Amino acid sequence: MNIRWIIVVSLLIEGSVLLAAEEGLLVRSEEETFLLVQTPHTFSHPWGMAVLPDGRLLITEREGNLWLVDREEKVRITGTPAVRATGQGGLLDVEVDPAFPEEPYIYLTFSAPGAGDTSGTALARARLSGTSLEDVRILWEMERKTSSGRHFGSRLAWAPDGTLFVSTGERGERDRAQDPSDTAGKILRFNRDGSIPSDNPFVGRTGFHPAIYSLGHRNVQGLAVHPETGILWAHEHGPFGGDEVNIVLPGRNYGWPVITYGKEYGTRAPIGEGTHKPGMEQPVIYWSPSIAPSGMLFYTGDAFPRWKGDLFIGALAGTHLRRLVLKGDDLVHEEVLLKDTVGRVRDVAQDPAGRILLLTDHPNGRLYVLEPPAR
């Protein structure tokens, strides 16, 4: 592919030089140069995406649609579970079984309808057969459903041992995050069939839900397992400021709403008991003002070798892609990419060729591909 320039004038945005090219936008960042390519598809408030082994994508829309997507076309998949698509709820994340296609299952999180106008986060498994879902089974759903349209959490990530992490929000009721009997405001861990792993940290403890892996979360919308350590990392939305990235260890308490770096909306008053408390974890990093993080990826591909091992996070309010450079568990550098270029970045993924995929959350949301330019 030879680049033929349309514009020979560069634009400097947040440290990145952008040039318009026939095949896309050529971006020169601190460490890598890449083409930003917009695919032809649009989506209505897309939320999650998963990459199949052949490179095709599964993409969810909050209103309840699931799409099978390649660079040229998208096809709607039938048989998705019923959702209550109000507020922040709807059809949310999607993941593919690690043994796919031998185990042709996909996993979905969504806001499951309850009595009246209530809903709660749920996890389903289904067999993907062509363009339909079969044998749809609800593996877990939040016991206490409410009419709130807020804070469903709902990211998925596979642990190295084949168990599945599921994040939940506290549904806008802060104290639920500290209630050990309640699955709201937690990260949960399940076996692939929905059963509870026997080594979950609270199994057998009176008053604790056995699915809980960690507690004290406000609204986790990013999960990723470190490719070298196998340890789970997560990010979550703060209130007014106080977005966090955390290293998630079993049985740990991440503080919300007892400790936080965020403030109350409106009054900007402090929340809880401050920013530190014994027995509660500190974040690797927090952002104030908020960037509204969503989606999370440890980059492991070969297309961008200087980025290998870096952590990529989408920003909704920040309207950018953020690159975090780590040394062990410590943050040593941040880079803001594509500021105000693609809009609200809802999810981030990597395809089999090592390209980075971005999904933007708008009424006409887009799928973008970051790929290396022709040499």
Torsion sign (Cα): 258, 229, 227, 163: negative
Q: Residue 311 in 3-state DSSP?
A: strand
Phi, psi at 175, each rounded to 5°: -65, -15
Residue with tokens 């990013």: 222
**Which residue of the set 41, 45, 151, 237 is catalytic?**
151
Pick the closest to residue 48 from 104, 90, 98 (CA basis): 90
- Measured between its terminal Cα atoms, the distance across the chain in Å is 8
In the beta sheet, which residues pair with residue 327? 330
Q: Residue 307 in 3-state DSSP?
A: helix
Q: 151 catalytic, yes or no?
A: yes
Q: Which domains does the chain have, with CATH numbers?
A: 11-371 (2.120.10.30)
- What token pair was written down for 40? 């032809």
Q: What is the pLDDT of residue 18?
A: 56
Strand 16-21 to 11-13 pairing: antiparallel
Whether the model clears a pTM of 0.75, i.e. scores above it, the answer is yes
CA atoms of 236 and 357, how far apart (whole Å): 21
- The tens digit of pLDDT for each residue in 180-211 reads 999 999 999 999 999 999 999 999 999 999 99
Q: What is the pLDDT of residue 123?
A: 99
Confidence of residue 72 (pLDDT cuts 50, 70, 90): confident
- The tens digit of pLDDT for each residue in 147-177 reads 999 999 999 999 999 999 999 999 999 999 9
Q: What is the pLDDT of residue 240?
A: 97
Confidence of residue 11 (pLDDT cuts 50, 70, 90): very low
| Range from 11-25, 125-139, 299-313 carrying the lowest mean pLDDT | 11-25
- The tens digit of pLDDT for each residue in 26-44 reads 999 999 999 999 999 999 9
